[in-house]
Structure 1
């Protein structure tokens, strides 16, 4: 008997069916226009683009011109690439334009699908197409750029370490291809720039994310961070690393599910004694003392490095460097590092050079970056399992687009063995059978280590094969392209987002390129015709053998990753087969309750080499995977909740920076800051509702000199009748404003405006960096508030808001103080300073010649003799435009300067070159704190 839900779906269709049905009238309109657009010449296609733009300016919407724009794009693609889009590809393009995720199976042509909404939306503003790696960004930009070029649009591509001008040009294009990492980093870099014309991105209007599940789900747990080097603690990491191998199992507890470690009481006792012997903690001190916090943190990270991070699975060591491996794609991630000292702990474990830790200069999560876009959409072969997360975090709906041809692949039930040994023996035998009958096999593994172990088994059996993992990533496209040849065996570590289809019989384009490279003088048309004829025969052989056989050696934590692997077979209606081989020793089975299943199998009396195959097993595994996915979703949600707090503050700071850069004159901003500082000073030293004889006028006098750079006769004001706090405030404001007006006149208005803007931006950046570090520390300790029955998130919100208020207060004070203390140099002071800098440069040059490596030159060394450095204090203020007007030290130069007599040096800034001429900064020389 059918259930009510089943009957309802049969009568009304599923919600997905209704969405698909709603696009059919649009697709019919596009098809009806095909003949009209085929009749246009090449110039006519470009003229249509201009017509569409003028219609949009005239008040029509993108939806109004969608059928015509899609018809124009389809014709351009047919001419430029020889590809005519199927109706289902047009559907996918419509869903993307509407701000949805289009779930399209592997081989359905997602790359071409993106051109339709990209073209339509680029008529109104910049479009970003996001890919998972640089290879795909370049390939797709070059490939699909032919389509956009035929339509009169420009295409750009962004890649790592790109020259600034080239990057700005790429973002200036109508359609820009880039990886998610580069887009996020460029957003952060732009908000660290000091001039508007240095910024690259032109806003966030519309983005199409390829492999959207990989980018917005899998990578969303890790925030993007731009960092700078911090204190070198390599010796501490080495010391800790010597202790970790001495720990017995009973000294710590390990939770593989949450990837956490904790020390037991026995472990704490052992560590306290051992660390005291090594001099890492003082005798009699415990690990519970506040002073031991850093050591405990490093011990935990060292233990995680040894017990939770495995070489050739989570990272590889190449050229003396620890390089992380993306757990979802199996690719190396050079330049990416684990935070909180974990990467350094792994470097100590592997005995390679330990790189210094970094401090965060700017950071953003992918969730909050992509939520900047006015409209967001995405494509993937597998999104349905994560539909809830897409809807909740990004407001994106998921629509399954029908395949162009029915799927003919057979998905078999999982085969479960008791031991990994039995499983791998069965896998090798299954590969042998497929290879002998000419069926190509794609073998999916979950780590480099397992792929290489399986490769050794196949070598022992004499079975030829290719291995695709992080070590062979340079040959990736070639290996994947050949994976469909008769009898080919390809072992791949995660197939997510490879971007290259496995075509039965091999990839014709690769074969043509190889043939042309081997015979440059040959006729390209003849070579292509010969290869295509050979390919047709080869393809038929593979089809007769059953198509591509996907054999997975393990279940992944996520069903989506398994589905991506399975989806490599059966593209465009091709035949195919897929099966998963599992054992009770697999990570997923072992962590998520294989004991009970092992007991059941033992009672059933299973023989050596025998597998259990039953739909119930599949269902129980899917439930286990769903639990893991749910837990990971919770982790990402929690990360986002904390980052949302910071994101609100980030938006305020970044928008304030932009306002400052856009402003012609920021005098009003700095004046408001100065007046707020004065309000605070008066409230502090002349508290409200107090009498004049209770005021601290001496403190107020000193504070006005320090913070405002003015001497005001506040001592006498307390003796005047009728002087209250408001009068004191007004008089200080008047004196301070007059002081700054005189300063502006001395510098010249233009130079003063430049200085004010640069001081504002640099102070904001410095305060924001410090604030980020403070928030990191708060995040690390706020979780313990849960033990006191207080919600850590609410605690974080409350305290981070207070810290943000403190940051803004400190910002006003710092800006006011810096601007109050700068002053123009006299011609004589300029001449003396240049002579001193030239002497320092000469000494630094001599030192460089005498020592290897060369010692760094002091700030300002090497400046042309006709120009003083922008700021004697080392602060990069703009080069002044008036003669004799630059920024000098904070205190007046002392007459009779003698580099051998510190009494004549005045008060040098801590980051300035030391006046003694050593070439070191003052803080590292005579100004060193003792």
Structure 2
């Protein structure tokens, strides 16, 4: 099964994840690119061995798998707040999801000034090559007319392809993607200047106003860039000059039609297209927008590109001749709505499963908080001890068997293993009587341990041990639940509801974890030994250090030389057998 899993992840890495689209390779590391914002996510890694498979594909150093210590979905994280509100320019398309998941209404606030941007209908080309030729032609026309252009691409790969095509046309431009995100503020500040051409992925200028005519502060710094030092007055003069230049340039830009937004592909979500469009026509400024599509685009391939392609062929349309109609734009928006609905169903499905985990999460975290406060820990430990005792009695002295059939030797061993109680267990026919006597013995043993260690030290040990055990068991539980979630879908083939089955299995798994926590906490606290003074010092100094030898290929590990008192052949053997050294370990050495 493990081999099949690795093969699956290798296939996914080679076929579904593309370099400069889903990730980039930077400083010999695979860095994830956020599909919605286009920004890099350093420190984030794909799980279940997928990141390692991509590292192997790219020939970079393969890092170890991350172990999940805690997990929560965004939905359940946000639900933890008593009050919830938000503000964004593109929430209206997701209004249904906000209502169903968070019980929130979406209200549309009117714009500060009337929006006068002209949103042109989409144009569809037969293939990507024809589409990009049309995009370059549109950029060239805007550049010659002095109109600034912001070109939106869905990946780094596409933005770099367009950049190379513009270089051939000798059109100056700026590229803004995850590879060059450091220059984002500088590029966006001047993206509204006349004749400026900016190629950007989803990340560009999100939520910022692209000022038509350019940014005066940025231009002032540009004027003074050749000066190493300048006075405050010189900066003020440069700023005034920059403001005049920006005002003149703004008038030129407005007369040419404002900022032109040019989308090279539709995204799965209308929200992202609306974000791109929304970078033009802000604060009542003029602006235009248009999306260029091809039948080879991902969204078009999913929804009916063959039908449209066949229609174009029957009409004898040339590849450079586009289809442009408001019906086409409407059909594409309908396709996006279907994708959004599908994605929402996936998120809702995941949330149904996480709601099961969420109940367990609340339970374990509230228990953990009780431990951290340190109140009543002794009572909790004794409760756990009683649970562990009940578990032992159910194994060795089950109530459905006669007292003669009880395994008293096994019970004695179990008591020693669990509680370090070593003494005879009197046989009795009454299970309640036996339980009471053993409970008293356990409490006495714990009181004795407490006296030996000291009250204050015992409370500290209880806290530390309980936290360690809970964290360790919860971590293992999360891993087990991940594996359960992966395979539970197969229950559907047996005509059983996977979600109902998941709830049952999750409950059983959580119950088992609770038993393990109780057993391990009790075992550690009852068996703990405190080394004091010289004894502790001896244990520290006499412990041999572990040495890792680097022997090279084919080398032999050197023998460790231990200096010690020479033992005579007739001396008692130091191993404690009672024999003479020559008849015991001396024979082995010889």
Q: Same fold (TM over 0.5)?
A: yes
The within-5 A match list for 1:237-386 is 293-386=1-94
Q: Does 1:498 align with 2:206?
A: yes
Residue from 143, 146, 160 that aligns with 1:452: 160
After superposition, give the CA deviation of every residue in 1:731-768 in whole Å (9 maximum; x if it has no partner).
11111111111111111111100000111110000110
Partner of 1:422: 130
1:521 and 2:231 are equivalent in the alignment: yes
Please name the residue that 1:793 is paired with.
499
1:494–1:565 CA contact under 8 A, matched in 2 = yes
Could you tell me which residue of structure 2 aligns to residue 587 of structure 1?
Answer: 298
Secondary structure of residue in 2 paired with 1:377? coil
Other-structure match for 2:569: none
Counterpart of 2:466 in structure 1 is 760
* Residues 1:816 and 2:527 aligned together: no
Match of 2:392 in 1: 681
**By how many angstroms is 1:785 displaced?**
0.8
The answer to whether 1:620 aligns with 2:326 is no
Does residue 713 of the first structure (1) align with residue 424 of the second (2)?
yes
Deviation at 1:848, TM superposition (A): 8.7
Are 1:516 and 1:522, in contact at CA under 8 Å, matched by a contact in 2? no
Residue 408 (structure 1) aligned to one of 116, 121, 129: 116
User: Which position in structure 1 is the counterpart of 2:535?
Assistant: 829
TM-score, structure 1 normalization: 0.58
Counterpart of 2:560 in structure 1 is none
Question: What stretches of structure 2 of length at least 5 have no aligned partner?
Answer: 553-571, 579-590
Instruction: Compute the displacement of 1:691 (Å).
Output: 3.0
Kindly provide the CA deviation profile for residues 9-28 of structure 1, in whole angstroms up to 9, marking residues without a partner as x: xxxxxxxxxxxxxxxxxxxx
Deviation (angstroms), 1:498: 2.8
> Aligned ranges for residues 874-893 of structure 1 at < 5 Å?
none
- Counterpart-to-counterpart distance in 2, 1:901 and 1:565: 80
| SS across alignment from 2:500 | helix
Secondary structure of the equivalent of 1:443?
strand
Please list, as runs of the form range in 1=range in 2, the aligned pairs for 1:198-237 lying within 5 A after superposition: none
Q: Helix, strand or coil: the match of 1:467?
A: strand
Q: RCO (CA 8 Å, sep 6+): is it higher in 1 or 2?
A: 2
Offset at 1:495? 4.0
> Do the aligned partners of residues 689 and 461 (structure 1) sit closer, same or farther apart at CA in structure 2, a change above 3 Å counting?
closer
| TM-score between the two structures when normalised by the length of structure 2 | 0.90
Deviation at 1:689, TM superposition (A): 4.8
Q: Following TM superposition, by how much is the alpha carbon of 1:531 offset from its aligned partner in structure 2, in angstroms? A: 2.5
Deviation per residue, 1:696-751 (Å, 9 max, x gap): 1101100110011112321xx21x6xx51111111111111111111111111111
Aligned to 1:275: none
Matching residue within 95, 102, 112 for 1:387: 95
| Residue-by-residue CA offset, 1:1-47 (whole Å, 9 max, x unaligned) | xxxxxxxxxxxxxxxxxxxxxxxxxxxxxxxxxxxxxxxxxxxxxxx
Superposition pairs for residues 588-667 of structure 1, below 5 Å? 588-667=299-378
Count of residue pairs brought into register by the alignment: 555
Q: Is the 8 A contact 1:407 1:573 kept in 2?
A: yes
Is 1:700 the counterpart of 2:431 in the alignment?
A: no
How many Å separate the matches in 1 of 2:466 and 2:402?
Answer: 37
| Native 8 Å contact 2:73 2:354 kept in 1 | yes
Judging changes above 3 Å, is the alpha-carbon distance between structure 1 residues 504 and 497 closer, same or farther for their aligned structure 2 residues?
closer
Conserved? CA contact 1:546–1:576, under 8 Å:
yes
> Which of 271, 287, 293 pairs up with 1:560?
271
Find the aligned partners of 2:448 and 2:223 in 1 and give their Cα distance.
77
Q: Distance in 2 between matches of 1:586 and 1:836?
A: 70
RMSD value over aligned CA atoms?
A: 2.2
SS at match of 1:362: coil
In structure 2, what is the Cα distance between the partners aligned to 1:325 and 1:394? 28
CA offset digits 1:814-835 (Å, max 9, x no partner): 1111111002224342232132
> Is the Cα contact below 8 Å between 1:495 and 1:564 reproduced in 2?
no
Is the partner of 2:85 in helix, strand or coil? Answer: strand
Q: Which runs of 5+ in 1 are unaligned?
A: 1-292, 852-897, 905-930
Structure 2 CA distance for aligned equivalents of residues 461 and 513 of structure 1: 30
- Rounded to whole Å, the distance in 1 between the matches of 2:385 and 2:44 is 42
C-alpha offsets along residues 630-688 of structure 1, whole Å, 9 cap, x if unaligned? 11111111111111111111111111111110134411111111111112222322222
Partner Cα distance (1:495, 1:345) in 2:
27
Higher Cα radius of gyration: 2
CA displacement at 1:434 relative to structure 2: 0.5
Residue 531 of structure 2 is aligned to residue 531 of structure 1: no
Q: 1:382 Cα deviation (Å)?
A: 0.7
Change (3 A) 1:417 1:849: closer
Quick one: distance in 2 between partners of 1:558 and 1:668? Answer: 55
Q: Does 576-585 or 319-328 show the bigger shift?
A: 319-328
Q: 1:730 to 1:454 in 2, by over 3 A?
A: same
1:784 aligned residue (484, 490, 496)? 490
Aligned-partner Cα distance in 2 for 1:903–1:427: 91
Aligned: 1:743 with 2:449: yes
State the distance in 2 between where 1:412 and 1:405 align. 21
1:344, distance to aligned residue in structure 2 (A) = 1.2
Q: Where does residue 224 of structure 1 map in the other structure?
A: none
SS in 1 for 2:97: helix
Please give the alpha-carbon distance, in whole angstroms, between the structure 2 residues aligned to 1:378 and 1:668: 45
Q: Does 1:770 align with 2:476?
A: yes
Q: By how many angstroms is 1:624 displaced?
A: 0.8
Could you tell me whether the CA contact under 8 Å between 1:328 and 1:496 is conserved in 2?
no
* Structure 2 counterpart SS, 1:780: helix
Equivalent residues in 2 for 1:9-88, closer than 5 Å: none
